[in-house]
């Protein structure tokens, strides 16, 4: 089995996206303007983001045996992703995400995990060969904690855990094992036990609190305000370029996919430069609707 520079262990979802003038209030029905069906899921999104930049990427995941499972694998193959460890699960539907996007680019998302719940540590063990050889391993929490922990234990390179969706009850190893723990403002607040993360200063405080909890390094993405990075040696804030936002869905995945690509392919790149370029890729993605279809190609990093 050939090795891949980047291995992503995580989720596949079908996104059912409704575009509306604004997000509905609780109990409210409003008219939408457009509907789209896209390939999504944090794991596959991050995988595709790295692949579209030119990364040599493999995905470890589960899809359902409904009409969407084979279509999803075919889409990944067309994008050059190694799908040897993407398994069709009998009797289970693929994971789905119901997404509403406003004219301001804001979104609300509900996910139903489906086949993603069936991804286990045993699946990770089957992919041990490519995981141990990978320069960068990427994980999220749309699949179980046990899956993420076992994969990081097998990793010999850089591991990036995207703590999304956030968990209030979690194994402390999720913080201590990965090389980089990456979350957005809301997720950072949850993992710190409720610290406010409303500005750059508060984000830096939350990142420092996560370091105290055992993280090796922390990135908190701040949307249009960029991202902050903290480890035991350095702390910095990187700004994002100003763009007209059309759809913010998947921007965090574009960031992580780009970060994984840069760390895997540019061995001498500084963390500051990697975070700057990842912010550039994420900002570019929000200028187009959709998730995977919005992710940029390699020219964005040149």
Over the stretch 7-65, which tens digit does the pLDDT of each residue have? 999 999 999 999 999 999 999 999 999 999 999 999 999 999 999 999 999 999 999 99
Q: Kindly tell me if the per-residue pLDDT of 4 is higher than 60.
A: yes
In a domain, residue 192? The reply is yes
pLDDT of 68-78, one tens digit each? 999 999 999 99
Q: Kindly tell me if the per-residue pLDDT of 2 is higher than 70.
A: no
Position 106 scores a pLDDT of 87
In a domain, residue 30? The reply is no
| Rounded average pLDDT over 261-275 | 96
Q: How many CA atoms lie within 13 A of 267 on its CB side?
A: 3
Rounded to whole angstroms, the Cα distance separating 254 from 241 reads 15
pTM for this predicted structure = 0.93
Rounded to whole angstroms, the Cα distance separating 300 from 167 reads 33
Position 1 scores a pLDDT of 43
In a domain, residue 235? The reply is yes
Rounded to whole angstroms, the Cα distance separating 296 from 52 reads 7
As for how many domains the chain has, the answer is 1
In a domain, residue 99? The reply is no
Share of the chain above pLDDT 90, in %: 92
Position 184 scores a pLDDT of 98
Give the residue from 62, 72, 122 showing the smallest Cα distance to 92: 62
Give the residue from 123, 121, 114 showing the smallest Cα distance to 64: 114
Q: Quickly state the pLDDT bin for 274 (edges 50, 70, 90).
A: very high
Q: Kindly tell me if the per-residue pLDDT of 92 is higher than 90.
A: yes
Share of the chain above pLDDT 70, in %: 99
The catalytic residues are: 253
Q: What CATH code is carried by the domain that includes residue 143?
A: 3.40.1190.20
In a domain, residue 266? The reply is yes
Position 168 scores a pLDDT of 96
In a domain, residue 297? The reply is no
* Residues in CB range of 78: below 8 A, 6 or more apart: none
The domain in which residue 201 lies consists of: 6-10+42-61+117-292
Work out the angle between the directed axes of helices 251-265 and 271-285 (0-180°, nearest 10): 140
Position 247 scores a pLDDT of 87
Pairing of strands 95-101, 13-19: parallel
In a domain, residue 56? The reply is yes
In a domain, residue 68? The reply is no
């Amino acid at each position: 089995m050939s090795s891949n520079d980047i291995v992503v262990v995580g989720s596949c979802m079908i996104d059912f996206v409704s575009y509306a003038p604004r997000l509905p209030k609780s109990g409210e029905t409003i008219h939408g303007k457009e509907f789209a069906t896209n390939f999504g899921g944090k794991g596959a999104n991050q995988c595709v983001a790295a692949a579209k930049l030119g990364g040599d990427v493999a995905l470890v995941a589960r899809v359902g045996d409904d009409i969407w499972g084979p279509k999803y694998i075919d889409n990944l193959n067309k994008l050059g992703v190694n799908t040897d460890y993407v398994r069709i699960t009998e009797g289970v539907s693929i994971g789905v995400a119901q997404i509403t996007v406003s004219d301001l680019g804001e979104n609300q998302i509900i996910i139903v995990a489906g086949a993603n719940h069936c991804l286990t540590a045993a699946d990770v063990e089957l992919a041990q060969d490519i995981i141990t050889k990978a320069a960068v391993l990427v994980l999220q929490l749309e699949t179980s904690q046990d899956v993420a922990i076992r994969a990081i234990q097998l990793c010999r390179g850089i591991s990036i855990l995207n703590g999304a969706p956030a968990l209030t009850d979690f194994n402390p190893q999720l913080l201590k094992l990965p090389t980089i723990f990456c979350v957005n403002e809301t997720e950072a607040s949850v993992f710190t036990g409720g610290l406010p993360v409303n500005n750059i200063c508060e984000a830096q405080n939350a990142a420092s609190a996560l370091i105290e909890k055992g993280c090796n390094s922390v990135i908190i993405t701040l949307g249009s305000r960029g991202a902050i990075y903290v480890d035991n040696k350095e702390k910095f804030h990187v700004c994002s370029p100003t763009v007209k936002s059309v759809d913010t869905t998947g921007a965090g995945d574009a960031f992580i996919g780009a970060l994984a690509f840069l760390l895997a392919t540019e061995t001498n790149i500084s963390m500051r430069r990697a975070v700057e370029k990842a912010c550039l890729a994420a900002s570019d993605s929000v200028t187009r609707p959709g998730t995977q279809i919005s992710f940029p190609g390699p020219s964005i990093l040149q």
